[in-house]
Amino acid sequence: MASEQELRDAICEVGRRLWTSGQVAANDGNISARMDDGNIICTPTMVSKGFMQPDDLVVLIPDGTLLGPGQPSSEALLHLVCYAARSDVQGIVHAHPPYGTAFAAMGRAVPTHYLTEIAVALWSVPCAEYGTPGTMEVPASALPMVAEADAFLLRNHGVVTLGRDVWDAYYRMETVEQGAEVATIIATNGGADLLSDEQLRDLAEIRGKLGLGVKPDDYHPDGCIELISRGWGKRIEN
């Protein structure tokens, strides 16, 4: 496992890449990672992801209680529920890349079965129901998505990617945006054939060999919302 300092450095670098590539604007987006002790380190509220410093990041215990100084983004609620529901997830990125977010605004899943690489990497990018930002509506709407996908859309909001570490989550964000852009280009040029059922079966086999996809044993949704609701807003000073 990476050290806390290594995770802080990685989150700041991911934030810089999101900002410089136009996947977030102003103070948008949030990034987190699960530490070796189970606590969550995440980005603070109202700070541009392009200019964060490692000491700016905040630490939460799994129920949402804040450990020490700082103030997390209100969307840390979403991250906490994803971690509570998926034991395999160690890093999460939430951003607003233009093409992926356009699909979120339309309430449509990103098509992933045009290209072999995107089908293998993600298989599906579904869209969650709308939830008011900063409330438990967002994690509640995301919970069914977490059961089936490593990347999903928040209706009228943006994109969320889950990973085996924060870099894995970031690369999946890049893949979602590329897939959304390709799908948009296809739609504006008269369409294209999707991969056939036989081709998809072959790609599903490849995903299995690579260990990709949500494993039923990794998904534990019961009590997630209640857990976070009890801890959110509390603080323990170091």
* CATH code, 102: 3.40.225.10
pLDDT higher than 70, residue 238: no
Q: What is the mean pLDDT of the chain?
A: 95
CA distance 189 to 128: 28
Q: Does residue 233 sit within a domain?
A: no
pLDDT of 195 higher than 70: yes
Query: Containing H/E element for 169?
Result: helix 166-188
* Domain that residue 14 falls in: 4-214
Domain count, the chain: 1
pLDDT interval class at 233 (50, 70, 90):
confident
Determine the 3-state secondary structure of 187 from DSSP.
Answer: helix
Is residue 226 included in any domain, yes or no? no
Give the tens place of pLDDT for each residue, 110-166.
Answer: 999 999 999 999 999 999 999 999 899 999 999 999 999 999 999 999 999 999 999
> Sorting pLDDT into bands at 50, 70 and 90, what band is 20?
very high
Cα 197 to Cα 68: distance, rounded to the nearest angstrom? 52
Which tokens in the block code for residue 80?
Answer: 């906490």
Whether 223 is in a domain gets the answer no
Provide the greatest CA pair distance for the chain: 59
Tally of CA atoms within 13 A in the half-sphere of 235 that contains its CB: 8
User: How far apart, in whole angstroms, are the C-alpha atoms of residue 129 and residue 141?
Assistant: 6
What are the tokens at 158? 């943006």
Q: Evaluate whether residue 238 is within a structural domain.
A: no
